[in-house]
Every structure is written in structure tokens, then in C-alpha cells.
Copies of this chain bind each other. A is one copy, B any other.
């Protein structure tokens, strides 16, 4: 067993991290929030140039293979940078199209243009029920059981607690034109979206912790750095511990997603033999743990920063707000807990009760 990221993996994550650090993602996020997609699209093209979406698509469909671990590592960095846009959804859709069980080139024009970074698409599922960036994306999809349909966003865009997420109601079963399902693997889509949302949450949590530690060392009150107060220290230590132990679950979840059957992509993961310790429960476990750790990090960041952490203009609050939005996206805590106790299977419609009274 070697349950550690290998050299390639770490190199790739570092590349993504550097790219994002140089690209002023907070500015892109604020522009995106204001409806200006320019900087966000540019960022996505740069990410696509690193091969990001290609890591979700088999070679015979124009991609590089099936690399959930490396994708998760990249989305930790995307979360750390608070990069805007439906990136999780776009990559997850690419994975679904690439894994079209019917094979061949039936997926329409989207896949090649996602791989080049020209398209951003969104997708939701009945548990959503909102699609993120429904009007800004180039296409919208909705899953229904094992099937995938196109969708038309309905109604006005709704503001989110995360201003970079423009929500649109997007009920299932609104296929355009023919109503024919889009050929794609919806199960793979949901799994990858859950994994990458967890990764993004973990990255947001890391950024919140780092920013809070930095601020606590800088800010003085009562004649001393606030980070020298034991109450502040212990809150930050608690967050550090929560993030530290969420991370191995994320890695485990990536292996579980890699090993998932069904897609045509080369399952480089384990053969599921007797010596295999991958566990499908790691996916909901990772989503719950990463979301929770990020949420704790956000609450603590607010407490450490005081009123500053409650303001729109402070960059760290981009992460703070995203943490709450990601908490419920692609698997609420309750749905994840149910899935853990059901051997890894998510309830049929996540959060069905939420769809109305």
C-alpha cells in the first residue's frame, strides 16, 4: 500500500496552485459575482490548458484518462483560490459524457469544447434543485436517475449567500426539443461532483484557516496579538485538526470514485480484490467531513476576524460564504450520513423533502 499522493500528483497540484495564485482569482470571483465572466472564463481556459477536464475523460474520447485523485487535488486548489464558475459541474459533465455507456461520439458538440476550455456548462439534480450559474453557463443539464437531460433555466436568477453562485431553478424533466436523454453516465457525474465539491470545500477551509492564523498573528487588541489568546488558539487548533483528518477521507473517496464500475474509462483503480481497502462509503464520508471542517473553519474565521469577517469586501469572506453553499451542494450532511450507513449509496433523491411543501 502506498496511500500517499505520488510525485506526478503533487507536481500537478502545485502547478494548479501556482497558476491560480498568479491569476488574481479573488478579482475574477468579484467580477463573476457582478456578472462579468471575462476573468473567470480566462481562468477556466488556463486551467483547461493544464489538462484539468481531460483528467476526467478517457483517451479514446480525447481526454487523458480517469484520474479522480488528481482532479480532487486540483479542486482543493480551486477551493483555496475561491475561483468562480461552475467548474465542478463542467468537469463532472465531461466525465459523464466521456463515460457514455453507449460509447462512440454521441455526446454532441460539448465534450471537445469543454476539453479546450471554451465551454462552461452547469448541471443539477432533483435534490438541487437550483443550478449554479444557470444563465451564465453555455448549457444546462439535469440528471434523472441514471439519465441525463438538457435543461432550460427557468425564472429569474436568485442571489446566493455565495455571490459568485448565480442560482436558477432547474427542475428535472425539462428536456428541450426531442426530450431524448443525453448519452452520459449520470452516476459517474454525481460521484465526481460530490468528490470535487468536497475537495473544493476542503480548499476553502484551508484558506480560511491560513487567513485566520495570519490575521490572528497580526491583529493586536488589549496590547497583544489576538493569536496569543488561548481561546483563539484552541479554536484554530480545532479547525486544523478537523481539516487534517478530512484530507485522508478525500483521498480515500477519490480512490473509491476511481474504482467505481460502469464507465468506459480505464479503471486504473483497484481490482476490488481481497487486499483492497477502498470503500464506497469514503465518498459520502469525505463530503460530510470536508463540508463540516470548512464550515467550522468559516465560523472560526468569523470569530477571529470579528466584524471584518462579516464584510463583503474582505477577500477571505469569499471563502466563508462559499463554505456554507458547498455544505449542501451535491450531498447534504444528512444525505451523506444516510449514504455512509447504506454502504455508500446516496438516498434516491437527495433531500427530497426540500423540493417543496
Contacts and interface: CB of A to CB of B under 8 A. Distances in A.
Interface residues of A, number: 4
A240 B229 CA distance: 21
Nearest to A231: B230
A214 to B, nearest CB: 21
Nearest to A232: B230
Nearest to A230: B230
A10 interface: no
Contacts of A231: 230-231, 234
A256 B112 CA distance: 70
Contacts of A229: 230
Interface string A205-239: 00000000000000000000000011100100000
A230 B232 CA distance: 10
Contacts of A230: 229-231
A230 B231 CA distance: 6
Contacts of A234: 231
Nearest to A229: B230
Interface of A: 229-231, 234
The 5 closest A-B pairs by CB, nearest first: A230-B230, A230-B231, A231-B234, A229-B230, A231-B231
